[in-house]
Chain A
Amino acid sequence: KQEVTQIPAALSVPEGENLVLNCSFTDSAIYNLQWFRQDPGKGLTSLLLIQSSQREQTSGRLNASLDKSSGRSTLYIAASQPGDSATYLCAVENSGGSNYKLTFGKGTLLTVNP
C-alpha cells in the first residue's frame, strides 16, 4: 500500500524567504507526482505535475523535483509572498494494471507573514 508523508506539517516564514516543502512515498512504482495547493474552504488546484521519467518541473517561482528511486519530491518556493499562504499537498499516481489512483499526503500548512 502506497503511503505519502509530508514534512513539515506546518511552516511559518517571513515574506521574501525561500522555502522547501518535502514529500516522501513508500512505493517507487509511480506514474507521476503532483503538487496541489488548497486554500481554506476551497478545492485543490494543481500546481505542478512531474512524470515519473522527469526530474523536475518549474512554474514561475515554484520548482518541484522528483527522485523516484529514493521516493522523494520537494517543492521549492522562491521569494515567498503572503498570497502563498495555503496548504500544499503532494499526491502520487500509482501504476498498477490499467487503473490509476491518487494517493495524497496530509499536506503542509504554509503561512507567509508580511
Chain B
Amino acid sequence: DAGITQSPRHKVTETGTPVTLRCHQTENHRYMYWYRQDPGHGLRLIHYSYGVKDTDKGEVSDGYSVSRSKTEDFLLTLESATSSQTSVYFCATWSGETEAFFGQGTRLTVV
C-alpha cells in the first residue's frame, strides 16, 4: 500500500458532537482529497487541498471543514455531527503526474 494512513478506522459518535478524521501521507504529494462513499451515490468529493493551507470545496462540503497545516496531514472536521454524515470516508493523495492513491477508509457512524 502507498503511504497513506487514515485514523481512526472506525468511529461511533453521537449527534451534535465534533469529529475530526485524520489523513497522513508519506508520499509528499501536493494534492489531497476527502471523499465520502455511500450506497447509490458512489464517491463524492467533500473538500480537497492543492497545497499547504490551500483548500477548496467539493460537491458535498456543507457541514464539513478541513485544514492542511503541513504537506503530510489533511484533517476533516465535522463541526456538529448529524446522522446524514454516517458514511465511509476516504482520503486520497495525488502528485499531479502519476496515479492517485487512496487510504483504507474510515467508517463513521453517527447515532
Q: A residues within 8 Å of B by Cβ?
A: 34, 36, 41-46, 49, 89, 91, 93, 98-107
Q: Is the interface of A mostly helix, strand, loop or mixed?
A: strand
B60 CB to closest chain A CB (Å) equals 13
- Sorted from nearest, which 9 A-B pairs have the closest CB atoms? A106-B42, A46-B99, A43-B102, A44-B102, A104-B43, A49-B99, A43-B104, A99-B50, A43-B105
A34: chain B residues at CB < 8 Å are 99-100
How many residues of B are in contact with the other chain, CB < 8 A?
Answer: 25
Would B105 and A100 count as touching, CB distance under 8 A? no
Instruction: Output the nearest chain A residue to B58 by Cβ-Cβ distance.
Output: A101
Q: How far is the CA of A49 from the CA of B48 in the complex (A)?
A: 20
Q: B residues within 8 Å of A by Cβ?
A: 31, 33, 35, 40-45, 48, 50, 56, 58, 90, 92, 94, 96, 98-105
B100: chain A residues at CB < 8 Å are 34, 46, 91, 102
Q: How far is the CA of A105 from the CA of B96 in the complex (A)?
A: 20
Among B40, B42, B56: residue with most chain A CB under 10 A:
B42
Would B58 and A44 count as touching, CB distance under 8 A? no
Would B104 and A89 count as touching, CB distance under 8 A? no
Would B42 and A105 count as touching, CB distance under 8 A? yes
Q: Would you list 26 pairs from A and B whose C-beta atoms are within 8 A, ordered by A residue? A: A34-B100, A42-B104, A43-B102, A43-B104, A43-B105, A44-B102, A45-B102, A46-B99, A46-B101, A49-B98, A89-B42, A89-B43, A91-B100, A93-B94, A99-B50, A100-B94, A101-B48, A102-B33, A102-B92, A102-B94, A103-B45, A104-B35, A104-B42, A106-B40, A106-B41, A107-B42
A46: chain B residues at CB < 8 Å are 99-101
Q: How far is the CA of A103 from the CA of B35 in the complex (A)?
A: 10
Instruction: Output the nearest chain A residue to B4 by Cβ-Cβ distance.
Output: A43
Partner of B96, one of A45, A100, A107: A100
